[in-house]
Amino acid sequence: MTTIMVVDDSTFARRVHRRILESAGHRVVEASTGLGALETYALERPHLVLLDLSMEDLGGVEVLRKLREIEPTVCVVVISADVQRSTEQMVREGGAVQFLGKPVSEDGLLRTVSSALEGCTP
């Protein structure tokens, strides 16, 4: 079973993503803060991280950088309402394998997750 970590400060977004992912057979762990994401990643070592950019303690770009320090091959999909091309380019240069704009559709999320997992699987 694939484990996916959903990192978002929005309880609603985490709940929606969890429902979609679990219905597709994935195991989901959550974090609501950047620091919580780093701790949960270290404990759970998920196959994929879905990472929001805007959080109160550590922003998503900083979390992405720190995750890549912990595990250089970490598989991260950034999901953000900031859909500017410059933002997508910045997170891809930072090591994100995919970028998805909010709000996400169920099909869009599942397609993105499937594609990211295929690209990240050794």
* Alpha-carbon gap, residue 54 to 91, rounded angstroms: 13
Summarised one tens digit per residue, pLDDT across range 48-87 is 999 999 888 888 999 999 999 999 999 999 999 887 888 8
Q: Give all domains of the chain, ordered by start, each with its CATH number.
A: 3-117 (3.40.50.2300)
Distance of CA 121 to the CA centre of its chain: 16
Q: For residue range 10-39, list pLDDT tens digits in order.
A: 999 999 999 999 999 999 999 999 999 999
